[in-house]
Amino acid sequence: MSARPFDVVVLGGGSGGLAASFRAAAHGAKVAMLEPSALGGTCVNVGCVPKKVMWLAANLAERIALASTLGFAVPAAPTVAWPQLLQRRRQYIDGIHASYRRRLQETGVAHIAQRGRLLDAHTVECDDGTRLQARHIVIATGSHALKPDIPGAELGGVSDDFFALQAPPPRVAIVGGGYIAVELAGVLRALGSEVTLLVRGHRLLTEFDAELTGQLAEDLRQHGIGVRFGCQVQALERHAGGIRARMQGEPDEAAFDTVLFATGRAPNTQGLGLEAVGVALEKSGAIAVDAWQNTSVPGIAAVGDVTGQAMLTPLAVAAGRRLMDRLYGGQPEARVDYDNVPSVVFSHPPFASVGLSEEAARARFGTVSTYRSRFRPMLQALGDGQARTLFKMVCAGEDEKVVGIHLLGDAADEILQGFAVAMKAGVTRRQMEDTVAIHPTSAEEVVLMR
């Protein structure tokens, strides 16, 4: 069977796949992109974008409640018309889909709404039997949420199911202590649900700085979220009073209307023909890649969640773009630097972080110094709110090079980006001190830490 010729075939139309396709086309390559589902992948459809919409709504609810203490004629406990909120969310996402379709047409990328399977290092077969041939194949098929292997797991949902909710459930249990669990807990609580976090370990966000995650746990409790550590959920059972979670070592069973698992994600590698072609996988099931996003098979590359590297949309986008800059843009050294990648947990309040935690810094460097600032933001103070802010800076060496910045508090998500640039450029503590503060802001505390 003859195959349609392309320069690049991309499997997956999420953040990484779209970025790779657009950048390759901009460099003059002939590109085919296979995506059988909605464009934008997890991020646009059941991840970053709809999550931020819900977080913004939750943030507004909290600010409206604060406004009443400042004299505004608003309800102290505001409620939201959930169907209207979901309609606005859908309209926003529909706009993104339309924008992607326009860009695909304008750039000449052939969008094929089918799955693809590798036949060899240069040939992909579509669901309908059509074959595509290319010098380079890029796998960008993303990941999916996991459920634990316990009895009754089918009674619980995952993060995808959160976005299918048509109303806030009265009582919610979220199983997990990572960023997805923390984000969903804050949103649901602010929008009216009674929320309990069931955390297997003894702290939240184990990859982040322990001092700040401890403060975050207290902030969540201040918001009325139940945070229970050391909870090993053994089974879910349906009873007249709802769904009961049976936990190891605890005689009492807690009842909930909805249970959501936030217990990890796995790469989408099934059915791609990887084994037959010889693409090596990690023990986790992710595609093994080198620093240039190459797999074990020449001509086949992979970007984004399917590689098991940090599951962040901007990293998938950067990896896809730099890969195509290297292959078609005349930039042979182009690749992603995975050090000092900034990230934000959209908790309540938000938690932004770049670089090493204090624990990781002490394990790596001989000399480590830390600086911090604890305060109540102005709006919280004016409105008698109880949310606290904790900013922390981690420095290494005699010159106190900044190796970690961790911000927990209002506007942390917006503050960090500029400081992440400074850290990438090798900023020192002295240079931070020499920078004049912008007053009155929360951001000024980053350069005033003691």
Q: How many CB atoms lie within 10 A of CB 366?
A: 8
| Rounded (10°) CA dihedral 234, 235, 239, 244 | 40
Q: Token pair of 171, please?
A: 């009582």
Report d(CA 311, CA 292) in Å as an integer. 17
Q: How many CB atoms lie within 10 A of CB 318?
A: 21
Distance between first and last Cα of the chain? 70
| Cβ-count burial 16-51 (b if 16+ within 10 Å, e if not) | bbbbbbbbbbebebbbbbbbeebbbbbbbbbbbbbb
DSSP structure class, residue 8: E
CB 196 within 8 A of CB 225: yes
From its phi and psi, is residue 356 left (phi > 0), alpha (psi between -120 and 50) or beta?
beta
DSSP structure class, residue 270: T
> What DSSP string runs through 146-186?
---S-TTGGGSB-HHHHTT-SS--SEEEEE--SHHHHHHHH
State yes or no: is 111 an active-site residue: no
Report d(CA 101, CA 329) in Å as an integer. 24
Distant-in-sequence contacts of 411-416, Cβ < 8 A, 24+ apart = 411/350, 411/377, 411/442, 411/443, 412/344, 412/349, 412/350, 412/351, 412/352, 412/442, 413/344, 413/346, 413/350, 413/352, 415/352, 415/442, 415/443, 415/446, 416/342, 416/344, 416/352, 416/353, 416/354
Report d(CA 323, CA 166) in Å as an integer. 40
Report d(CA 225, CA 194) in Å as an integer. 7
List C-alpha distances in Å: 278 to 120, 300, 450.
9, 10, 54
List C-alpha distances in Å: 123 to 8, 20, 40, 421.
10, 18, 24, 41
DSSP structure class, residue 436: P
Helix (H) and strand (E) counts for the chain? Answer: 14, 21
Q: Token pair of 162, please?
A: 């959160």
Enumerate the active-site residues. 439
